[in-house]
Structures are given as structure tokens and as C-alpha cells.
Amino acid sequence: MKNCLFTGAGVALVTPMHEDGSVNYEKLKELVNWQIDNKTDAIIACGTTGESSTLDDKEHRKVIEEVVKETNGKVPVIAGTGSNNTQYAIELSKEAENLGADGVLIVSPYYNKTSQLGLVKHYSAIADNINIPLIIYDIPPRTGCKISIDTFKILADHDNIVGVKAASGVISDVATLAAECGDRLDIYSGNDDQIVPIMSLGGKGVISVISNVFPKETHDICQLYLDGECHKSTKMQLDFIDLVHTLFIDVNPIPVKDAMNMMGMEVGPCRLPLCSLDKNKMEILKSCLKKYKLI
């Protein structure tokens, strides 16, 4: 049986910026400690929410390094080290391992995409070159590259490939994945509105955006389900559904960063080509945050 990296709610942590667009490492440390204090079960650094696509090499490594240091073994740190260049993903994953990350999250190749055979070779090559666990990140709406069940079945045989962040949004696909690979791959919801549905299919928890503003509550949704309190978990999932949907009224992480700034967390702007919400969406976000007493 493969080792489980974590159960519960892992936060897909934002990367805070100064107003000039440089990374705010002091704020990053504050966020890490706030997450740990509020029962986050794992920290995912440099994922989509962490704007990994606009971090340069030095920043990418520095963010991982600082998160590992500040976490200090209290919860697992999973580094986003995916790329559509396999060799670069290998190099970045090896660096994350050297920096002390507990695992890596590898998004499927984007833009150039690849065949299903190419996906097998891509993920296998990365997993072959590191000694820490790898979680596959399947998010076809952003990558244009859908991982088939047959491909998952092959990759599940690799000792170092331990899980899947399932973000296709299609529950029937997750059900098939669980039926075919659930004993060999841990499944995490990649969508905050599907935490309970995916856990009901055997999922281990979520890699979450909403945890950036509601870490304890997202942890509690997962923990209640794991403790057998399914009705309470479901109620929390439904109670927070409006907040979840509002945090995705524009491209992630635009709304969540704007929300955190409204809450006084001073995480700064997104980097171009991402920019702040327009006036109408900002009002929708503000109204929602007031509803949940976050501002």
C-alpha cells in the first residue's frame, strides 16, 4: 500500500505580492502560520492559485523553500512543479525534493498537450527521477489535456505516483477513477463545490482555494466526513456553496486574492496577464464576503 501524503483539506496557497509585483516573502510566512493555526492539513505551494506560471525560476524555488522552512514539519508541503516541458518538470521536482518538500503536484502538459502515451511517459519520467510522492493534477478546462482512465490505470502502477487532484468537474469521471484505481491512487477534489461528493466516492479530501479565506471550515468539512458525521459535513458544504461559487466568478486566483485583500490580509495584486476584478464583480464579491461575515 502506498503512503498517503495527507487526508483532509490542503490549501492551494496564494503567492502574496508587493504592490510593485515582487513576491512578499514576509507575508508568505504569515499566511503559512495562519493556515497551520487554523488546522489546514497540508500546504500546496506554487500551484495554479499560487500563480506558478508567472513566477521565475528563482522565485519558484524561493517560495517552496520559505514554505518548507516556515511549516517546519507541522503539516506536509506539496510543491507545484508541473510543466509542459518534461525535463524542466524533472529539474524543478528534484529541486523541490532537495528543498524539503514532502511531495509534488504535477499538472498535465498544457498548450502543446500530448497523447495518452505521452502522458504516461511524461509522468513516469518525473516520478522515476525523484524520491518523494507525486500527485497528478488533472484539470482539462485549463490545460486542454484530459487524462483517460486507461492512462490513470497504467500510472497507478508506479510506486511513486500516489494520488490525483481531480478537477475535471465531472463526478462520473471521478466515480470511474475511484472504481478502477481507488485502491492505488488517493483522490483529492480539485473543486471546492465537490468536496463531499468526491469524499463519498472514497476521496481523501480536497486541494482547496476556499481554504485561503476559510481554512478551519474547509478542514472541518473534511474532518467531519472522515469522522462519519456525513450529514454535518454535507450541511457545511452546502452552507458555503455561495462563497465557493463567488470565488470563481473570474479566473482563479483573481477573486480569492481580491477577497483576501478586502479582508485586510494584504496579499497584493495578481501578476499580469491576470488583473483585479472589474467594478461589478468586485461588488458581488464584497456582498458575498459580508454575507459570510468575512468583512
Assess contact for 41 and 8: CB atoms under 8 A. Answer: yes
Catalytic residue among 25, 137, 188, 225: 137
Alpha carbon dihedral 217, 264, 79, 199, in 10-degree steps, equals 20
113 is known as an active-site residue: no
DSSP annotation string for 72-94: TTSS-EEEE---SSHHHHHHHHH
CA distance 9 to 244: 14
29 CB-contact burial (10 Å; exposed 0-12 / middle 13-18 / buried 19+) = middle
Catalytic residue among 27, 39, 165, 257: 165
180 CB-contact burial (10 Å; exposed 0-12 / middle 13-18 / buried 19+) = middle
Assess contact for 38 and 219: CB atoms under 8 A. Answer: yes
165 is known as an active-site residue: yes
Helix (H, G, I), strand (E, B) or coil at 285: helix
Assess contact for 134 and 156: CB atoms under 8 A. Answer: no
Using only C-alpha atoms, what is the Rg of the chain?
18
The catalytic residues are: 137, 165
